Amino acid sequence: MLKYTLRRLVIALPVLLGISVIAFFIVRLVPGDTVTALLGAHYSEAEAEALRQRLGLDQPLPVQYVIWLGNVLSGDFGQSAFTGEPVLEAILNRLPVTIQLVAISICFAVFVAVPLGVMAAVGRSGRTDFFATLFGLLGISIPGFWLGVLLILLFSLTLGWLPSGGFVSLWDDPIANFRHMILPGLSLGMAVAAVVMRMTRSTMLEVLNEEYIKMARAKGVPKRRTIIRHALRNALIPIITITGIQAGYLLGGSIVIEQIFSLPGIGLLALQAITNRDYALVQGTVLFIALGFMVINLLVDLIYAWLDPRIKY
Amino acid sequence: MNDQNTILRVEDLRVRFRTRRGDVRAVDGVNLELNRGEILGLVGESGCGKSVTAQAVMRLIGDGRGEEVSGRVELDGEDLLQKSEKEMTKLRGRRISMIFQDPMTSLNPVYTVGNQIAEVPLLHEKVTRRDAYARAVGMLETVGIPSPKERARRFPHEFSGGMRQRSVIAMSLCCKPEVLIADEPTTALDVTIQAQILDLLQDLRRDFGTAIILITHDLGVVAEVCDRVAIMYAGGIVEQAPAGELFRKPRHPYTQGLLASLPKIGDRGILKAIEGRPPDLMNLPEGCRFAPRCPHAFGKCSEYPPLERVAEEHDAACWLEKKHE
Amino acid sequence: MNDVWYRFSRNKLAVFGLVVIGLYLVCALGARWIAPYDPYEMRVESVLREPGAEHWLGADPFGRDMFSRIVHGSRISLRVGLIAVSIALSAGTVLGMLAGYFGRWIDGLLSRVVDVMFSFPDILLALVIMAILGPSTTNVMIAIGIVYTPIFARIARGSVLSVKNAMFVEAARAIGVGHFMIMFRHILPNILAPLIIQTTLSFAFAILAEAALSFLGLGVEPDAPSWGIMLNEGKNWMEHGWWVAVFPGVAITLAVLSFNVVGDGLRDALDPKLRGRGD
């Protein structure tokens, strides 16, 4: 298992390097530069030159990249050109919000989707199956940001049950925190729930047709136990894979959802950095999100290998 | 009609699948008797309803959408078709077991072989986990798997086909059931392994006293291990007799055709296939199902021939028997 | 082909999707005649007018007719979808086929690049590209096209690998047919099914992505009647009129849903083996 983990990490290295190259060069391609943005309309050429030198922008690109990479590896992601806040600090401050948001969405998705998918497969073509299919189709078709808007319209503006945005830390006030997170979590989790439900349903349909399920029944395993211990346990492998992949996409989806609900997470930070052309911050957030995505994929691979005895590490 | 010697009696079993294009009469009036401790061969072409019969007896079909089962299936005098699913669950694996054609897919890939076997006593008897597992290891030894203790910890994908089928047999016999239905247990295996598995079944029948219904399309297998044989055609039994008698004196033209299509060592003659194809199960002929392919068909064959005694312990469903009288 | 169409036509949901797509197409092509108002015309007397006889779907905070804007919005969505998917389809297929067919370093390089692109959430990648290019309809098409290229490359590569050593390819090579001829005449027709399915599903993604980018202000030009932009404006005004936040979303959802069900239907019709597979 350790060997397998290491091998996966080694495979991840070149991809990681590629990500850093993209993160670095992508912002160099942005028209207009930080200097102009920072200094405003009126500035002297000398001022600009000094600022460029201070930010290291006068060096050739490959040199800038190597310097930047060295800094990043030693934990120095630079400073936000706007607030002067160190990028790493800004990211780490915002990280818990996004992690919580993603975690809530995943939990919601899994707890709704897996039982629904199982019930749909077991009662194939029945009423539950019809409902599940409808849920699956709507779930993948309704944009998360519209769902968010609708939820605000209903629960905040019309019913007044929940706040329409903002954030309270979990440590300060867990109940208020939950009240702020539930709508964003739902909006973000719906699409994942739909995808996971569809996967659960189709895999369960396949597994339920396997001979070992018939064998389990023939040896007297009760129905519930057959479905959960024999069928679902096998279906779990692809279900977890797809959940993991979706978890990665949630990082992207969080950009939009955090904007709608004014949640101070990494997604919103990235969006602001992009709109403000805040080089260092864009690089940092992009790098972090891609890294998070990779870590999740790695975890999924490891869980997968652990769940399926047929995979040799 | 019969004494306590009969462990399983199937009476007028009918299975119908309702599909969008019409009803499929997969099993259409099957009558069978299985004596304690005997091996009964159930023989027929693919699609004749052998497997469906077996699964209907196990009640693995019958509760699903569009599945209709009628008749009686008596296990030691109790009608299985009247039982609730809960009662059936308690019977399966304990008093009546089944093994399937493909050992490659009959075992659950994510559990060790030992755990899968141990699940059977755990479900049906008041035993501890440890005892059940010890039983499983013992069963693996009984079915001839070397170093069973170590093998029990292995996963199915680490087993060969023959070893998997042995494990499946161990699983189905772990609680010493009175009846075992083996649905083509050797079809997916190599010829040498086939013979070993058949030997194993015979040994286990002797040691455990389990009566076995051996479903096969291979008359060679029947000749090797079966005490009695029932021949199935298009959803019904057409002939039933002790194995030796059936091979010597087949009465039904279909059985005769089957035997004629069997190669014999030393015989260089041309093998004779039966002309034509089995009838469409959605559209069965009114009378004898075999009549359209039968070389001896005559006027009476437009009526359905009942299965009747033609000699001692020998039944056939053919009007020719009456014609000669 | 008849067989495929027969199987497809028996899937009621898929046929429904096809009809809806047809309606959107009619809206897009005939927007000028279908829309009762000029989508840009601000009428002071109509500001936030409720849905009714005068404005079927109400009017927005600037007094523009919602129905007319949504009808014109279908032009943007379908055009972005069409061009973005065409970019992704052609670039991805060519790259994937080259990698799959020639293998070696071409494959190695391309696979790494695809891996790297897959490690960015698609919206983030599109946002960054939009930041580089600047907001405009053309740039949205390019950005979305680039983002979805790797998916097609991966599918094409996989499919090529699976037919590359088939008899008919060997035979073609044996009689001296050139590489490109083999790829386009012999291999391409055999990998069409997965590509067609992915193309349909990508339309759904592309429409969603355009709406999301525009919603975030990094999509099409800010005054264009894009559904995403309408939704963003609607979000700020929904306290005063629910319709400004509801109808653009309905338009997006219906379009995405239609492409999804048609994609599912095509998958079932083209490849009966995959029937019922969710993803």
B303-319 pLDDT, tens per residue?
A: 888 888 888 889 988 88
Which residues span the domain enclosing C241?
Answer: 69-271
Cβ–Cβ below 8 Å for B157 and A222: no
- End-to-end, the C-alpha distance of chain C in Å comes to 24
Same domain, yes or no, for A143 and A61?
no
Report yes or no: A257 and A144 within 8 Å, Cβ to Cβ: yes
Interface test mutation site (partner A, options B89, B167, B173, B178, max chain A beta carbons within 10 A): B89
Which residues span the domain enclosing A16?
Answer: 2-73
The CATH number of residue C116's host domain is 1.10.3720.10
Asked whether residue C19 is assigned to any structural domain, the reply reads no
| ipTM for this model | 0.85
Question: pLDDT for A149-206, tens place per residue?
Answer: 999 888 888 888 888 888 888 788 888 888 889 999 999 999 899 999 999 999 999 9
C97 has a chain A CB within 8 A of its CB: no
What percentage of residues in chain B have a pLDDT greater than 70? Answer: 96
The CATH number of residue A267's host domain is 1.10.3720.10
Same domain, yes or no, for A96 and A7?
no
Asked whether residue A78 is assigned to any structural domain, the reply reads no
Given A50, A73, A96, the domain boundary residue is A73
A214 has a chain B CB within 8 A of its CB: yes
CA atoms within 13 A on the CB side of A231: 31
Backbone angles phi, psi at A269, to 5 degrees: -60, -45
- pLDDT of A37 over the 80 cut: no
Same domain, yes or no, for A146 and A284?
yes
pLDDT averaged over every residue in chain A: 85
Asked whether residue B64 is assigned to any structural domain, the reply reads yes
Given B153, B176, B199, the domain boundary residue is B176
Asked whether residue C12 is assigned to any structural domain, the reply reads no
Report yes or no: C80 and C210 within 8 Å, Cβ to Cβ: yes
Same domain, yes or no, for A294 and A166?
yes
C261 has a chain A CB within 8 A of its CB: yes
Asked whether residue C57 is assigned to any structural domain, the reply reads no
C56-79 mean pLDDT: 86
Same domain, yes or no, for A96 and A34?
no
Report yes or no: B61 and B240 within 8 Å, Cβ to Cβ: no
Same domain, yes or no, for B149 and B295?
no
Same domain, yes or no, for A267 and A125?
yes
**How far is B36 from B43, CA to CA, in rounded Å?**
20
Asked whether residue C103 is assigned to any structural domain, the reply reads yes
Asked whether residue A313 is assigned to any structural domain, the reply reads no
Same domain, yes or no, for B117 and B64?
no
Positive/negative CA dihedral, B203, B206, B210, B214 = positive
Question: pLDDT for A51-62, tens place per residue?
Answer: 777 767 777 888
Query: What is the domain count for chain B?
Result: 2
Same domain, yes or no, for B70 and B133?
no
Question: Could you tell me the two tokens for A128?
Answer: 């539950």
Asked whether residue A154 is assigned to any structural domain, the reply reads yes
Same domain, yes or no, for A165 and A232?
yes
Asked whether residue C53 is assigned to any structural domain, the reply reads no
Q: Which of B205, B243, B274, B235 is nearest to B7 (CA)?
A: B205
Helix, strand, coil fractions of chain B, as percent rounded to 5? 35, 25, 40
Query: What is the domain count for chain A?
Result: 2
Tokens 């009469």, located at residue: B25
Alpha-helix residue ranges (DSSP H) falling in A56-143: 61-73, 87-122, 127-141
Quickly state the pLDDT bin for C276 (edges 50, 70, 90). very low
Asked whether residue B153 is assigned to any structural domain, the reply reads yes
Quickly state the pLDDT bin for C277 (edges 50, 70, 90). very low
Cβ–Cβ below 8 Å for A218 and B108: no
Tokens 């492998």, located at residue: A237
Same domain, yes or no, for B85 and B207?
yes
Greatest mean pLDDT among A235-244, B135-144, B271-280, C170-179 lies in B135-144
Report yes or no: B9 and B72 within 8 Å, Cβ to Cβ: yes
Backbone angles phi, psi at A244, to 5 degrees: -65, -45
Asked whether residue B100 is assigned to any structural domain, the reply reads no
Task: Decide: B and C in contact? Rule: 3+ Cβ pairs under 8 Å.
Answer: no
Which residues span the domain enclosing B165?
Answer: 106-176
**How far is B162 from B186, CA to CA, in rounded Å?**
9
Given A73, A101, A129, the domain boundary residue is A73
What does the pLDDT read at residue B1?
45
**How far is B33 from B38, CA to CA, in rounded Å?**
10
The CATH number of residue B253's host domain is 3.40.50.300
Asked whether residue B320 is assigned to any structural domain, the reply reads yes
Q: Which of A145, B171, B133, A87 is nearest to C219 (CA)?
A: A145
**How far is C28 from C21, CA to CA, in rounded Å?**
10
Q: Which chain A residue has the Cα nearest residue C238?
A: A153
Asked whether residue A81 is assigned to any structural domain, the reply reads no
**How far is A72 from B190, CA to CA, in rounded Å?**
61
Same domain, yes or no, for B170 and B188?
no
| Sheet with B236-242: strands ordered across | B96-99, B179-183, B211-216, B39-43, B228-233, B236-242, B314-316, B308-311
Look up residue B280 and give its DSSP letter. P
Same domain, yes or no, for B158 and B226?
no
Asked whether residue A79 is assigned to any structural domain, the reply reads no
Helix, strand, coil fractions of chain C, as percent rounded to 5? 75, 0, 25
**How far is A167 from A170, CA to CA, in rounded Å?**
9
Same domain, yes or no, for A234 and A176?
yes
**How far is C169 from C188, CA to CA, in rounded Å?**
11
Asked whether residue B101 is assigned to any structural domain, the reply reads no
Query: What is the domain count for chain C?
Result: 1
C216 has a chain A CB within 8 A of its CB: yes
Given A33, A48, A73, the domain boundary residue is A73
Q: Is A183 helix (H, G, I), strand (E, B) or coil?
A: helix
Same domain, yes or no, for A43 and A124?
no
**How far is C96 from C150, CA to CA, in rounded Å?**
8
C230 has a chain A CB within 8 A of its CB: no
A205 has a chain B CB within 8 A of its CB: no
Same domain, yes or no, for A148 and A285?
yes
Asked whether residue C16 is assigned to any structural domain, the reply reads no
Nearest CA-CA distance, residue B178 and chain A, Å: 13
Interface test mutation site (partner A, options B80, B91, B110, B123, max chain A beta carbons within 10 A): B110
Same domain, yes or no, for A123 and A194?
yes
Burial (Cβ within 10 Å: 0-12, 13-18, ≥19) of residue B129: exposed
Same domain, yes or no, for B82 and B219?
yes
Look up residue A86 and give its DSSP letter. B
Same domain, yes or no, for A132 and A214?
yes
Asked whether residue B1 is assigned to any structural domain, the reply reads no
Report yes or no: B275 and B266 within 8 Å, Cβ to Cβ: no
Asked whether residue A80 is assigned to any structural domain, the reply reads no
Question: Could you tell me the two tokens for B27?
Answer: 């099993």
Given B176, B199, B220, the domain boundary residue is B176
